[in-house]
Amino acid sequence: MTITAYCRKTGIRFLYCCLFIFTGLVHLHARSQEKLNFTAKNVSLEHVFSFINKQTDYVVFCNYELLQQGKPVSLDLKNVSVEELLEQALQGQGLTYTIRGKTIAISRKEPVLHDQRIAVPPVVKGKVTDKVSGAAIAGVTVNVRGSQAVALTDNDGNYTIAATTDAVLVFSFVGYGKKEVAVNNQATINVALEPVSQQLDDVVITALGIKRERRAVGYSVTEVKGASLTEARETNFVNSLEGKVAGVNVSNVATGPGGSANVIIRGVSDITGSNQPLYVIDGIPMQNSTYRQTDISGGYGGADGGDGTININPDDVETISILKGAAATALYGYRGSKGVILITTKSGKTSKGIGVELNSNYVIQSVIDNTDWQKTYGQGSAGNKPVTGDDAFELGLSSWGAPLDGKQAYQFDGVQRPYSAVSGNMKRFYKNGGAATNTLSFSKNLGADGSLRFSASDLHNTSIIPNAGYQQQSFSLSTNYKLDKHLEVQLKAQYINAYTHNRPSVSDAPGSVNFATLFLPPNVNIISLAPGYKADGSENQFLDDAYTTNPYFAAYKFINNTHRNRFIGSADVRYTFDNGLYLQLRAGEDYFADRNTMVTPNGTAYQTDGAMTEENIKSTELNVDAIVGKPFKINKDFSITALVGVNSRKAVTDQLVATGNTFETPYLYTVGNLASPTEYTSNPVIVNKSVYGTMDFSFKNFLYLSATGRNDWYSTLAPGKTDYFYPSVSGSFVFSELLHIPGMDLGKLRAGYANVGGEADAPYQTLLGYNNIGNLFGFPIGNISNGGTVPNATLRPSSVKEFELGAELDFYGGRLHTDIAYYNKRESREVIPAVTSEASGYNAVLLNSGTILNKGIELLISGMPVKTKNFTWTEILNVTYNNNKVLSLSSGSSNYPLGYSRAGEDEGVGVAYMSQTLNKSAYQIYVADPARDDNGKIMVDPTTGAPVAGTDYKDIGSGIHPWTTGITSEFRYKHFNLSFLIDAKFGGKIFSGTNYYAYQFGLSKLTLPGRDVRYGTNEIYPQDYYNLISNTNPAIFVFDASFVKFRQIILGYTFPAAVFKNKIQGITLSFVARNIFTIKKHTPNIDPESNYSNGPQGIEQAQVPYTRTFGLNLNVKF
Amino acid sequence: MRCSLKHILAVAMIFIIHTSCKKDFLKTNTDPNSVSVDVFDPNNILTATQLYYTGSSDNAIEVEETEIQGAGCFIQHWASTSAYYFGDKYLFSPGGWGSFFDHAYTYQVKNAVDVYTTTIGKPQYKNLHQVARIMKALVFERITDVYGDVPYFDAGKAYHESKYFPAYDKQHDIYMDLLKEVSEAVDSLDENADKPVGDMFYASSDDQVAEWKRFGNTLLLRMAMRLTKVDPATAKTYVTKVIGKTMTSNDDNAIVRHGTNDPLTINRIYRGIGEDGGIQLSGQISKTFIDFLQSNDDPRLPVFSYIYPPDFSPGDDPSGGSAVPADQVGLPNGYDGGNTSHGIINYPGYLGNINLYSRPGPIIFNATAPTLILTYAESELLLADAAQRWGIGGDAAEHYNNGVIAAITQLSAYGDEGTISDDDAQAYLAAHPYNEAKGLELINTQYWAATFFNEYEAWSNYRRTGYPQLKPVTYPSSQSPGAIPRRMAYSTVDKQINGTNYAAAVAGLDGGDKITSRMWWDVK
């Protein structure tokens, strides 16, 4: 069967299914909000309630027992309100309803109290209030445990119920924890119910933006409120998630403002590619390209080209829903296999009238100097000071001089200065950075018809690095409108204009602001290097190595800028038939245009004539979805919600690059001024087509099952192998509905399994192609265009299989909430460039090879130890353990090197490298191992006294932490709130290039002993001895990267509206701080979170230093 | 209204599914920026092979690292106090040892094998195929000469034969096959078949096929002579076979000219060491080489060597320095930049500034300077060696004379400034006539002078003959104490990835994977 035929058949199969849904309908006519139409014969109450749930913003809650007792209704109502509909439906049922906010509670109408024929038990009265606000709560169900007796509180929160003196009253209401009180002869029982904390929201957003009851969901979903990211904020909002969510490992990428973020959900599952999750904003998959990352593979570092998430303004975010496992993300196909972060932006729905909100955030970023260098010896060699300026110039960063004596000594510029320590070069070079963010939003709730919100935001972030920073203006518009009773339209648009000014180079010394700054000898003041250039504009070299750039020259003369224009827009049309069937058509596009300008200026010591690269990148992803769905009621206990959808995705990147060196007219940095610019284009196009469906089954109110299926066609796979089907199933069992466990509000077990298949990350990998890449005296220079990777004409999709188990337990009216998850995720047949021997002519071959297993446990516990009207104390703890193991690589290979450290880099090979290794966890750090004798003892060269160089590398451990944890403490006293976050990671290692170089340069305190002795029979100098050790036994630079950090603190005060005579709804002023201090670390001279890559973790060197942030946040609501 | 909307949505869904079926994914997944082998001219890959033979376009990093900083210093053409120049002091340098391995296979072997394979059985590319075959042998000969046993039979075949982890073949087997391959290729070249247009060596010559025959035979001569120590019988057989068929003048020299595109077409040594218009100040000419040229009044000295102005910075105009032979000072090998007993500042007679030492001059050391691949001078000196050694192939003195003259006059390839008159060359020869008693030393010392900037060849010929007589350096932590290294250790990258085959190769290596171990043809 040809693909086309198979496709067509599949398509038709689904179409039949759609038609079936069209015809098998109950006749219901519906409207939402104020005016509803409802026509139905003999339908259950549940049907009416689910109709209200679907068609309005209200959520109906009803005890299942009551529902079961309900009689079928037949109604024919036109243009009625929700209240009218309910009254009609509940007539004669013995039931009544209460509306509070957007929730409708159904309860028994007449308490048994009024039945005069029965012996009247004593009457208990009382008032139910909100424990936090003290306000009365209307509609609370008061039930005598073990009996049918039920009462409801009135509008003032008062109730009356007949109960025997030994009875136990059960108070329950939506949004509050259940409370049980023994009567014990009391005539009056006043009760304060506790609002349930946010994590216990009863509705969660799942894949495709479908809202589902939390109890029904068979996999782990964590929601984070946008509001929690806006106060103590990060330029890239993703970084503020660090330590907050179980199973989500966010780590710092130390590349300065405009750099990328690194998020790994449920472990490293991709052996070579990106492990970043899929970001979906309002239903539209977002581009999170990191097309220019720092380069761990070559060790040179370079600059971080940023990513896509940096453009998201957290002020526009309503909620973030994190779908971790494959069962949760199955509807997104392979792209969701590394987790999905669903971002729902704010709408105007919650505003009262016209809402105006201003959020202003001003923070100062100051450098954290982790270095603790020796201050005993100065610049020099073999224990001697420089004797001339030239001598100092040649000695450069060598701190192997004489003991600092405070007398005059020459420096590189020929000037004599005191030979004494001038500590604090880092604080002298790096300025205080700062970020100002102002977001102003307007919103309007149009009631039943829709809502509108518009926001404008400006972010201005100056880096701690001189002459660098990030700026962003963003505009966001969100509208939804009901055109008529069937048709609802939603339009969302965001426009972002961002400018990254001078992305800093990390790791290697050329063009780096960080390298020389770190390693200047103790007696050299960095100010003497300023301004970094001579009168003619060329670099003012301070040492005899063209490749170690003067940091001031790097900061002020190098250019590495990105201008980005981005537009993310979506249109969503939903047509709902009277019977509940809906059709939805959604199209969304994320388009950005980047212009990158990178200039190595004229006069750069290592590239005098200068060089330049100018890139224009236009990248777009278009997604079109059509979805049809409908709920079905099989009988009173059993219902099904079905959904079928199709998706078409097209991702196109259009890249035009001009690059070259030598500016014909010096200091004129244009492509046209280059002596011989080279231009090239690349145009990757990826097309996916998918058909997917989901069936949600529910039985009574305790058993839920969801099954999904997705069929994908991938353009990037081998011809004839582009079409695959993947299933998932998940379920939830709410056992607390069947067992009565004292104190337990919710007890739920869940399980899920999914199989997802995936495409190759990039197109054009199935065929060998040829092109020409230049011309030499009329000879076209041919080229195999696949680069170093052998194409593969038999590529199949990869496979991710994940099983997860979990439990959620809520106790004591939401005072204690626990969520535990276990997962087992196996990615296999990954389409990776399996590394090959270079002797094969290629570095890699694209193969379906590689298996990686992640097993882990996620635990979330939140508790409220104290809760009074004026004071609450909340603790939220999350703990994650992830066990990660590479089970197979390409055949014949047990090691997949990912890249060398630049430290000790000698002709492309460093003293350390990162690797994926068979039967080890991901990102293993290998270091050169000295020669050993038969007993494994390190062999020492008697002539030098230092270890003999070996040619083997030793595996030290993984750069990824298996344990991550965070604990948030929140205190609220009247109008004050205080929260802080302590987070920690354990078990990962890091190879420190910074410590390596400090050792070689004689800056490290470890090099202090034995400065005045000679080593070995050759009596070599300490500088040579230590230098040898650094290269022969670099394991001494691998550290345990575990840490505990005091990450964040927020202290806020909310001015009540009354202060402003209600003209302003509220003002909250907060003091905020992040990265306040490190409680525990094991990495001398560096921050343990010093990775500079958003890919492999575990190698650091001269990245942008960590910063401490503190400032103020002001939020005003008009 | 409702009905029409329903239809629109239903149609939209069908459309989305339907286009997924109709869509020609194969077309979507074909790179618009490339073509398939059916329409591509393999001549362009020959061009790439010849260009990459002079060095990769990866900033020519292996030329910088393995050839100049390594072999060039071993053989004392070059010297440096910088630790990057591991060859100066035979330092531990896995990256420097292996860089050539890593780049030679992915640039030279990959393209040579591709053009060779895609032209098999295509009559329109009959000669191109044979030229590719010779190029392939040229490439492999150099790799095995640097490392010893290396992947050969299965190498470069990842795409065409799905061989991803090639075994390391015995150098003996490699050499026997190279000799066979080049012989067959030369015999198969056909005057009546195609003239390979991608051939930068000889496309512009009057008789391209004849030139390739001479090139092939000269290559056979060089390969055969490499076996003088280990297998003189085979060596003699092949030398005898090619006598009279080798290169006849400098016009036969195989040369790659370079362009200004950095790093694609630029001169590789300049790219690697000079880099982007500047000169990396750390690389100097060895005292050994300068002293040889100076003491012999060699007319090549002002072409090769130059004292740049003391305040010269990379990219500056080099004029104002000196090419005057008497001014030239070579840097001694074996010193570092520190202030220890091995520090250059403690070298007796140190000039006080490293910039005052001779470096390769702007005539030969610039972006567009040509690369000499295989020359008539080498050919004649090898014939002189054979004649002296075995009395075959004519008169040793005559070949010596031809070789010495050609090695001097071949510098005209560098333009007028490099051109040395025949009279000056003859005068030099007259002052250094052939002397049979010291024949081999004279011949191979001249070979050393003739292969400046062709460092692997100079080093290989030294290992074969022991000439010129070099004084090895001593230095703490030297990996070859007091002896010129005999090979480069293998690539660390391949050791990790192709571990099993690597281990098998090392097992067959006396002394292990060290720079002191000797390869098959380099018997003591």
Q: Is A1057 exposed, middle or buried (0-12, 13-18, 19+ CB in 10 A)?
A: middle
Cβ atoms within 10 A of the Cβ of B454, count?
23
Task: Give yes or no for a contact between A301 and A1095, defined as CB atoms under 8 angstroms apart.
Answer: no
Each residue of A301-315: b (16+ CB within 10 Å) or e? Answer: bbbbbbbbbbbbbbb
B14 Cα to chain A: minimum distance (Å): 8
In Å, what is the CA distance from A481 to each residue of A57, A209, A571, A1048?
A: 14, 18, 12, 40
Nearest CA in chain B to A834: B164
CA angle, B122 then B126 then B130, to 5°: 120
- Report d(CA B37, CA B39) in Å as an integer: 5
Q: Is A868 exposed, middle or buried (0-12, 13-18, 19+ CB in 10 A)?
A: exposed
Tens of pLDDT, residues A353-372: 788 999 999 999 999 999 99
Cβ atoms within 10 A of the Cβ of A212, count?
20
Backbone φ, ψ for residue B366 (5° rounding): -150, 170
Residue of A1060, A1064, A876, A867 whose CA lies nearest to A980:
A876
Most confidently modeled range among A624-638, A865-879, B434-448? B434-448
At residue A904, the pLDDT reads: 80
Q: Output the six-digit token pair for B239.
A: 């030398």
Q: How many interchain CB pairs under 8 A, A with B?
A: 360
Most confidently modeled range among A601-605, A708-712, B222-226? B222-226
Residue of A625, A693, A584, A332 whose CA lies nearest to B17:
A625
Tens of pLDDT, residues A182-217: 888 888 899 888 776 444 447 888 888 888 888 889
- Report d(CA A982, CA A972) in Å as an integer: 18
Task: Give yes or no for a contact between A816 and A863, defined as CB atoms under 8 angstroms apart.
Answer: yes
Q: Output the six-digit token pair for A165.
A: 């003196």
Query: With pLDDT > 90 as the criterion, what percentage of chain B qualifies?
Result: 81
B238 Cα to chain A: minimum distance (Å): 28
Question: Comparing A793-797, A1034-1038, B112-116, B317-321, which segment has the lowest mean pLDDT?
Answer: A793-797
Residue B21 predicted with pLDDT over 50:
no
DSSP code, position A333? G
- Report d(CA A36, CA B497) in Å as an integer: 69
At residue A23, the pLDDT reads: 31
DSSP code, position B81? S
DSSP B321-385: SB--GGG--PBPTT-BSSSSTTBGGGSTT--SSGGGS-EE-TTTSSTT--EEEE-HHHHHHHHHH
Contact B47 A944 (CB under 8 A): no
- Could you tell me how far CA B33 lies from the centroid of its own chain? 32
Residue B507 predicted with pLDDT over 50:
yes
Tens of pLDDT, residues A110-131: 554 444 444 556 788 899 988 7
Residue A5 predicted with pLDDT over 60:
no
Averaged over A855-883, what is the pLDDT? 94
Please report the sign of the dihedral spanned by the C-alpha atoms of residue B193, residue B198, residue B200, residue B205.
positive
Tens of pLDDT, residues A822-850: 999 999 988 778 888 999 999 988 888 88
- Report d(CA B384, CA B400) in Å as an integer: 5
- Report d(CA B138, CA A819) in Å as an integer: 67
A802 Cα to chain B: minimum distance (Å): 28
At residue A907, the pLDDT reads: 59
Nearest CA in chain B to A585: B9
Helix and strand totals (H; E) in chain B = 23, 8
Measured torsion, CA atoms of residues A11, A16, A22, A24, in degrees rounded to the nearest 10: -150
- Report d(CA B215, CA B252) in Å as an integer: 8
Backbone φ, ψ for residue A1023 (5° rounding): -60, -35
DSSP code, position B196? -
Residue A323 predicted with pLDDT over 90:
yes
* Maximum Cα–Cα distance across chain A: 113
Contact B159 A1028 (CB under 8 A): no
Each residue of B127-147: b (16+ CB within 10 Å) or e? Answer: bbbbbbbbbbbbbbbbbbbbb
Residue B131 predicted with pLDDT over 90:
yes
Task: Give yes or no for a contact between A927 and A911, defined as CB atoms under 8 angstroms apart.
Answer: yes
Tens of pLDDT, residues A968-990: 999 999 999 999 999 999 999 99
- Report d(CA A890, CA A210) in Å as an integer: 39
Confidence band, pLDDT 50/70/90 cuts, at residue B372: very high
Helix axes B126-147, B110-118, angle to 10 degrees: 150
Residue among B23, B37, B166 minimizing CB distance to A768: B37
Averaged over A625-647, what is the pLDDT? 90
Task: Give yes or no for a contact between A108 and A96, defined as CB atoms under 8 angstroms apart.
Answer: yes
At residue A110, the pLDDT reads: 56
R_g of chain B computed on alpha carbons:
26
Give the amino acid at A225.
Answer: K
Residue A1067 predicted with pLDDT over 50:
yes
Mean pLDDT value across chain A: 87
Q: Output the six-digit token pair for B343.
A: 């520090």
Contacts of residue B345, defined as CB under 8 A and 6 or more positions apart, other chains included, come to B339
Q: In chain B, which residues have their Cβ closer than 8 Å to the Cβ of A834?
A: 164
Helices within A967-1012 (DSSP H only): 993-1001
Secondary structure of residue A15 in the 3-state scheme: helix
- Could you tell me how far CA A909 lies from the centroid of its own chain? 33
Contacts of residue A151, defined as CB under 8 A and 6 or more positions apart, other chains included, come to A111, A113, A141, A142, A143, A159, A160, A161
DSSP code, position A364? E
- Report d(CA A111, CA A156) in Å as an integer: 18
Question: Comparing A198-207, A249-258, A421-430, A538-547, which segment has the lowest mean pLDDT?
Answer: A198-207
Confidence band, pLDDT 50/70/90 cuts, at residue A1085: very high
- Report d(CA B361, CA B372) in Å as an integer: 17
R_g of chain A computed on alpha carbons:
33
Measured torsion, CA atoms of residues A125, A130, A133, A137, in degrees rounded to the nearest 10: -70
Contact B257 A777 (CB under 8 A): yes
Tens of pLDDT, residues A264-297: 999 998 888 888 999 999 988 999 877 777 776 6
Residue among A609, A841, A892 minimizing CB distance to B276: A609
Q: Strand A976-986 relative to strand A744-758: parallel, antiparallel, unpaired?
A: unpaired
| Distance between first and last Cα of chain B | 96
B442 Cα to chain A: minimum distance (Å): 35
In Å, what is the CA distance from B70 to each residue of A373, A580, A829?
A: 35, 78, 42
Give the amino acid at B262.
Answer: D
Q: Which site among B1, B8, B13, B153 would you substitute to test the A interface, given the most A Cβ atoms closer than 10 Å to its Cβ? A: B13
| Distance between first and last Cα of chain A | 65
Nearest CA in chain A to B3: A577
Task: Give yes or no for a contact between A608 and B313, defined as CB atoms under 8 angstroms apart.
Answer: yes
Measured torsion, CA atoms of residues B380, B385, B389, B392, in degrees rounded to the nearest 10: -10
Tens of pLDDT, residues B204-233: 999 999 999 999 999 999 999 999 999 999
Q: In chain B, which residues have their Cβ closer than 8 Å to the Cβ of A930?
A: none
Residue A28 predicted with pLDDT over 50:
no
Could you check whether the bond before residue B263 is cis, i.e. omega within 30 degrees of 0?
A: yes
Residue of A215, A217, A461, A456 whose CA lies nearest to A324:
A217
Residue among A662, A841, A1016 minimizing CB distance to B109: A841
Query: With pLDDT > 70 as the criterion, what percentage of chain B qualifies?
Result: 94
A371 Cα to chain B: minimum distance (Å): 26
- Report d(CA A159, CA A190) in Å as an integer: 10
Beta strands, E only, A601-701: 611-633, 638-661, 678-682, 685-699
At residue A373, the pLDDT reads: 97
Residue A43 or B170, more confident: B170
Give the helix, strand, coil percentages of chain B, each rounded to 5. 50, 5, 45
Residue among A605, A628, A1024 minimizing CB distance to B476: A1024
A22 Cα to chain B: minimum distance (Å): 10
